[in-house]
Amino acid sequence: MARVVQFTAPRQAEVVEFKPEALPPGHVRVRTAYSGISAGTELTAYRGTNPYLTRTWDPDARIFRDAEAGVAFPVVGWGYSETGSVIEVGEGVSGLAVSDEVWGIWGHRSEAVVPAEKLIGHQLPEGVSLSSAAFARVGAIAFNAILSARINLGELVAVFGQGVIGLLATRLATLSGARVVTVDAVESRRTESLRFGAIESFAPGTAAEAIRGLGGADTAIELSGVYAALHEAIRSVGVGGRVVASGFYQGEGNGLRLGEEFHHNRIELISSQIGGVPLELAGRWSVDRLQKTFLDLVGKGAVDVEPLISHRVPIEDAADAYTLLDTRPGDALQVLLEF
């Protein structure tokens, strides 16, 4: 039997067994090595605050409708950053072979049947381990925010939130030629951000005024998903500055006062979400290119993700991993489930 993580109810995770499915033509069977837990979007499903649990997303109209929930408990196999090895190849598959080490999205399950087209070209690049490749998706989220920020050489960029994605954004902004300052409530994460290239790091509350004291940020990237942080990001940029909102915000926008600096300083507010790349780049960039380019940077040593792995948790202890991230987020960065 294979195993999969499911959320049985809000804040209840468990590992259940399932019978492996047959392998149809054009598919491969992958045995999972690592699966990264998202401490942002995924925890909204674990906690029961994700909008898909209360509303229905209409993909054609691209609007949420107040109808029955689009997703209901138990939520099975959430997860979007997996690595593993191909153990079986279906009829008609070329470009993949048994024993190929690959990365992709198939959820927190010990094995999966995946269309071959989704994994062709997803073999691990040189210099990238199976554990490092589990950062492909979160790295792409950070990369997407950097592209949305349209950073120019020498600009001051403020990155709000220094969890895994925030730290990666700090590193990528530095590689893009920015002077980077960071903001986070956790002191250890502020310290870590200095190792990832930040020139200064501030605690929330007084950060905006401190950044304005440096002349004001040209661009701010908000990755915490906290409305108060988004408001402080808006306050931190100069007149006509740009704010990239890349966090997954929940509920109503308490603490966001758009009649103040946003209105008076004519701030440009941009949403960055991994469902697509910035519109002006869509002819040349794609989400797959984001992921591959990020892993190439890892393989070449430009981005070191291994120090971000704070916990490697055996799959049978998955419930403990979610409790940790939910109740003591300051004690963890990237948690990997080991299979």
| Strands (DSSP E) found in the chain | 2-9, 12-18, 27-37, 56-58, 63-65, 75-76, 82-89, 101-104, 111-115, 156-160, 179-183, 200-202, 217-222, 237-245, 268-271, 309-314, 334-338
CA distances from 296 to 139, 169, 255, 309 (A): 11, 16, 39, 19
Between CA 85 and CA 161 the distance in angstroms is 33
pLDDT of 69 reads 86
pLDDT digits (tens, 9 = 90+) for 190-230: 999 999 999 999 999 999 999 999 999 999 999 999 999 99
pLDDT along the chain (339 residues), means of 10: 97 96 97 96 94 92 89 93 98 97 98 98 97 98 98 98 98 98 97 98 96 97 97 98 96 93 97 96 97 98 97 97 96 97
pLDDT of 194 reads 98
What type of residue is 104?
Answer: G
pTM metric for this prediction: 0.96
Of residues 2, 3, 11, the one with CA closest to residue 319: 11
pLDDT of 160 reads 98
Between CA 287 and CA 5 the distance in angstroms is 26
Instruction: State the average pLDDT for the chain.
Output: 96
pLDDT of 219 reads 98
**Long-range contacts of range 249-255, CB-CB < 8 Å, 24 or more positions apart?**
249/225, 250/44, 250/49, 250/50, 250/51, 250/225, 251/49, 253/227, 254/227, 254/228, 255/226, 255/227, 255/228, 255/231
CA distances from 42 to 58, 91, 244 (A): 21, 34, 21
CA atoms within 13 A on the CB side of 8: 6
pLDDT digits (tens, 9 = 90+) for 276-312: 999 999 999 999 999 999 999 999 999 999 999 999 9
Between CA 260 and CA 239 the distance in angstroms is 12
Backbone angles phi, psi at 64, to 5 degrees: -80, 135
Using the structure block, give the residue that is written with the tokens 């808006």: 234
Between CA 120 and CA 295 the distance in angstroms is 15
- Check if the beta carbon of residue 79 is closer than 8 Å to that of residue 108: yes
pLDDT of 105 reads 97
pLDDT of 59 reads 92
Between CA 206 and CA 164 the distance in angstroms is 23
Structure token digits, residue 336: 């990997």
pLDDT of 135 reads 98
pLDDT of 146 reads 98
pLDDT of 70 reads 84
pLDDT of 36 reads 98
Of residues 261, 269, 187, the one with CA closest to residue 221: 269
